[in-house]
Amino acid sequence: MLKLTTVFLCIVAIMLCVSGNTEGQESGLEGSVVARQKCASCHAFEPLHLDWAELARTQGPDLSYSGTKFNPDWLVQWLQFPDPIRPAGYLPFRHTISTPSGDQVITEALPKHIAVTGSEAQAIVSYLLTLKREMNPFPQPNGASPIDGEVHFNKLLPCAGCHRSAGHAGGVSGPDLSDAKRRLDPSWLASFASDPTYWSQGLMPKASLRAEQLAAIRDYLMRSPDPRPATGPTTHPVKSQFTTTASTVGTNIAPGHPAELYQILCSQCHGITGNGKGINAPFLFVAPRNHASFDEMSKLTDDRIFAAIKFGGSAVGKSALMPAWGAVLKDSDIQSLVEYLRQLSGTQAVTTSGVETRGY
C-alpha cells in the first residue's frame, strides 16, 4: 500500500511539474504573440545586420537586448503611457527641415508610439525580458572615481551634443537621459557607453573611455532625475504647414547614396543641407563646420577630412565634440563621405592644407 501511495504521489508531482511548465510556456508564447502584434511593424527582436540603405528604412531601434537594458517596472508603465524618449524622433533627419535660422524639428511630424493596455504591457514585457545579451567586457574601476561625471558628460566629451541629462539642456537627436535611473540598468549603461557598436548598429560612435570615466558618467546619469526643466529649448516647434516638407526629407535620396549616410550620422550637427546648422548645433559650444561652404572646405585636404571622420576632431587639432566614427564606418564608407562633401561644397581635393580657424 505504501509503495502504491508513493507511486501515486510521484505521478501527481510529475503532472504538476508538466502542468506548470506548460503554463509557463503558454505565458511566454502569449507575450511573444502580443509583442509581435503590437511592436514588430517598427522593431526587430533579433540583432540587426543591415547595410546603411536598409538601416535608413527601419522605423525603430531593435529590441533584441531589452531584457538586459530596461528596468521592467518602468517599461510596463511606459508602454501604457508612452512619452517621447527621443526629442527629435528615430532617425531625426526624417522630421527635420532647414530654415534660415537653422534646422528645426517638426514636432507635428514625429510619430506617436502606440499605447497598450495593462495586461498587454505585462505580456509584452514578460517576453522582452527573455531577450538578453551577455555584457561585453569593459574596464572596471578599482574604487570611487574622483572624476566629475557631470563635467565629462556635458563639457569634455561629445555626450551632451546629442543627449539631454537631468537639469541640463543638450542635443535632441539621441535619447533623453534625464530619467536614465528609472529607465535603464546601470550595468548595461556602462557597458553600452564603453562600446555602443556591440549593442546597436551604427547610430552612436565609440569613444575610448577609461574605467573611471565610465563609472563617473554612469553614476552621474543614475542620480535621481532633476524635476526642473532643462534650460533652453529641446525642440524647435514649427508651424504645421511645414509638416509635408518635413516628412519627405531624405526620401528623394537614392538608397545607398552617401547623402543618405550623411543624413543618418552627420546632419544632426552639420545640418541636413550641410550648412553647419543642425538640430544639435545650438547645444554645442563649438560651431559645427559648414560642409556646404566652398571657402571652408577648399582649405582641407581629403586626407584631413578622412582623418577627422575616422579618428575624431581631436585627431586633427579640432574640437573633441566631433566624435570618431572609425568603429562604425568602413574606410570605403568614409571615403564615400569625403567625396560627397566635395560635391556638397563644390570643391576639389587639395594637396596642401590651408589655415583653419573655424568649426570642427
Q: What are the 10-residue block averages of pLDDT along the chain, 360 residues in total?
A: 43 39 48 94 92 93 96 97 95 95 94 95 97 91 79 90 90 95 95 94 89 93 67 42 42 82 96 97 93 96 96 90 93 97 88 44
Q: Is residue 86 domain-shared with residue 174, that is, in the same domain?
A: yes
Q: Is residue 295 domain-shared with residue 180, that is, in the same domain?
A: no
**211 within a domain of the structure (yes/no):** yes
**159 within a domain of the structure (yes/no):** yes
Alpha carbons 243 and 105: distance in angstroms, whole number: 10
- Model pLDDT, residue 248: 43
Q: Is residue 324 domain-shared with residue 258, that is, in the same domain?
A: yes
Q: Is residue 210 domain-shared with residue 268, that is, in the same domain?
A: no
Positive or negative torsion for Cα 201, 205, 207, 212: negative
Phi first, then psi, for residue 243 (nearest 5°) are -60, -45
Q: Is residue 185 domain-shared with residue 255, that is, in the same domain?
A: no
Alpha carbons 238 and 235: distance in angstroms, whole number: 9
**356 within a domain of the structure (yes/no):** no
- Model pLDDT, residue 23: 36
Q: Where are the alpha helices (DSSP H) in the chain?
A: 2-39, 52-55, 66-69, 72-80, 118-128, 149-151, 159-162, 180-183, 186-194, 196-199, 211-221, 243-247, 258-265, 267-270, 294-297, 302-311, 331-345
Total domains in the fold of the chain: 2
Q: Is residue 217 domain-shared with residue 263, that is, in the same domain?
A: no
**61 within a domain of the structure (yes/no):** yes
- Model pLDDT, residue 29: 64
- The type of residue at 122 is Q
Degrees to nearest 5, angle at CA 147 with 141 and 153? 105
**278 within a domain of the structure (yes/no):** yes
Residue 168, Cα to own-chain centre: how many angstroms? 18
Q: What is the DSSP string of 131-179?
A: ---PPPP----SS---S-HHHIIIIISTHHHH--BTTB---SSSPP-TT
Residue 247, Cα to own-chain centre: how many angstroms? 20
**Residue 196, domain extent:** 19-221
Q: Is residue 55 domain-shared with residue 147, that is, in the same domain?
A: yes
Q: Is residue 172 domain-shared with residue 217, that is, in the same domain?
A: yes
Q: Is residue 215 domain-shared with residue 250, that is, in the same domain?
A: no
Q: Is residue 247 domain-shared with residue 184, that is, in the same domain?
A: no
- Model pLDDT, residue 208: 87
Alpha carbons 328 and 195: distance in angstroms, whole number: 11
- Model pLDDT, residue 146: 78
Q: What is the CATH classification number for the domain harbouring 333?
A: 1.10.760.10
- Model pLDDT, residue 172: 95
**316 within a domain of the structure (yes/no):** yes
**161 within a domain of the structure (yes/no):** yes
Q: Is residue 204 domain-shared with residue 156, that is, in the same domain?
A: yes
**360 within a domain of the structure (yes/no):** no
